[in-house]
């Protein structure tokens, strides 16, 4: 019986991948779409690949493709979490399934879906295995709602991302992030939110998709694909700036070390809600940028703004391996 490796060694059917449109965000990660020494054209020669231009909008690229004959029947994206979330929104709008090819720095969503590399994603596509994924629909002020797949946040985290991005051109992403964190530990200040008529000074608010580790504040990577709930963490401004920054740790090991060093905020400082909808008014205050972040993407606003989050079950169908039982 031929093995999968034997099957890949044979020339691919030129029709394989027909109907698949992959949009590549060249700014997200690696230079080429590769897996195991091969490229996408070798494995799925019938697929179309569109590389976004420097100022090209993903929605415009997809809309143009949908007007061709034949139109795509599957939308794919090669990029990081922000690109994946944007394409998920488009896949939902067009009623098409989504293929996620991880090509970013962290690939939070792809890792939760069991796809650590492009090869695993293509295996799921060729096997035809899909999963219905829940998401959060987020709207700020009068803006049109958009889909987020991992988390939405206000406060210290988006300000840190904003600071990092402004330094990125000169220092790079990693060094820019270190400098931004160092600066935040010296200058971060709480913001004010209003929820259900009550005001609160907070370091941050995270709205994650699905229940997450109750010990965390920054739930930036979801733990399940299907659960259609919002896990909200409100970090009240009762501790130091150092704890505010330490609370942003999302890696299990890093968080465990910071917890052992007593740098993480106590549970009494973090209010947790598990709900289907969540809304608040965000008042950044003088000297604070008016913005929020979802899946690593900054969304600038003007002054105070209302933020509404709603859990959406079965928001999009994604090609992904079957979950491992046990």
Specify which of 6-15, 139-148, 212-221 reaches the highest per-range mean pLDDT. 139-148
Cα 246 to Cα 265: distance, rounded to the nearest angstrom: 8
Pick from 57-66, 142-151, 186-195: least confident: 186-195
Instruction: Give the integer Cα–Cα distance in Å for 155 and 235.
Output: 9
What is the percentage of the chain residues whose pLDDT exceeds 70? 79
Which of 59-63, 113-117, 187-191 has the least mean pLDDT?
187-191
pLDDT at 29 over 70: no
Taking the C-alpha atoms of residue 292 and residue 326, their distance in angstroms, rounded to an integer, is 37
Task: Look at strands 291-294 and 48-51 and give their pairing.
Answer: unpaired
Contact 194, 239 (CB under 8 A): no
Is 50 exceeded by the pLDDT of residue 203? yes
Domains by residue range for the chain, with CATH = 4-128 (3.40.50), 148-313 (2.60.200)
Mean pLDDT of the chain: 85
The lowest-confidence range among 127-131, 238-242, 302-306 is 238-242
Confidence of residue 33 (pLDDT cuts 50, 70, 90): low
Residue 54's pLDDT is what?
84
Question: Which strand (E) or helix (H) includes residue 185?
Answer: helix 173-187
Name the least confident of 61-65, 133-137, 184-188, 226-230.
Answer: 184-188
The candidate with the shortest Cα–Cα distance to 289, out of 158, 128, 186, 167, is: 158
pLDDT in tens, 98-117: 999 998 888 999 999 999 99
Task: Give the other-Cβ count within 10 Å of 312's Cβ.
Answer: 18
Give which of 86, 73, 81, 85 is closest to 102, Cα–Cα. 81
* Burial track 291-303 (b if 16+ CB lie within 10 A, e otherwise): bbbbbbbebebee
Tell me which of 178 and 53 has the higher pLDDT: 53
Which pLDDT score, from 0 to 100, does residue 323 have?
82
CA distance 317 to 290: 33
pLDDT at 195 over 90: yes
């Amino acid at each position: 019986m031929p093995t999968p490796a034997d099957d890949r060694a044979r020339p691919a059917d030129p029709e394989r991948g027909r109907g698949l449109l992959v949009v590549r965000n060249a700014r997200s990660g690696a230079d080429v779409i590769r897996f195991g020494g091969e490229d996408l054209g070798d494995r799925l020669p019938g697929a179309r690949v569109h590389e976004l231009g420097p100022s090209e909008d993903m929605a415009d690229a997809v809309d143009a493709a949908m007007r061709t004959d034949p139109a795509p029947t599957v939308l794919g994206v090669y990029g990081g979490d922000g690109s994946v979330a944007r394409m998920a929104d488009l896949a939902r709008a067009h009623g098409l399934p989504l293929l996620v090819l991880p090509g970013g720095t962290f690939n939070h969503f792809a890792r939760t879906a069991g796809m650590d590399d492009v090869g695993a994603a293509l295996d799921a596509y060729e096997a035809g295995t899909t999963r219905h994924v829940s998401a959060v629909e987020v709207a700020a002020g009068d803006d049109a709602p958009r889909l987020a797949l991992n988390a939405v946040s206000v406060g210290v985290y988006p300000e840190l991302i904003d600071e990092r991005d402004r330094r990125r051109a000169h220092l790079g992403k990693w060094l820019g992030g270190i400098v931004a964190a160092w600066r935040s530990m010296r200058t971060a200040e709480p913001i004010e939110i209003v929820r259900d008529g009550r005001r609160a000074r907070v370091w941050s608010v995270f709205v994650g998709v699905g229940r997450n580790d109750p010990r965390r504040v920054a739930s930036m990577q979801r733990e399940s694909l299907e659960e259609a709930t919002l896990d909200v963490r409100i970090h009240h401004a009762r501790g130091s700036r150092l704890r505010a920054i330490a609370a942003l740790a999302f890696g299990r090991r890093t968080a465990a070390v910071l917890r052992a060093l007593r740098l993480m905020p106590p549970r009494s400082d973090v209010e947790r809600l598990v709900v289907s909808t969540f809304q608040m008014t965000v008042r950044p205050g003088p000297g604070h940028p008016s913005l929020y972040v979802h899946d690593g993407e900054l969304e600038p606003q003007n002054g105070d703004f209302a933020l509404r989050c709603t859990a959406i079950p079965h928001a999009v169908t994604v090609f992904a391996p079957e979950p491992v039982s046990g």
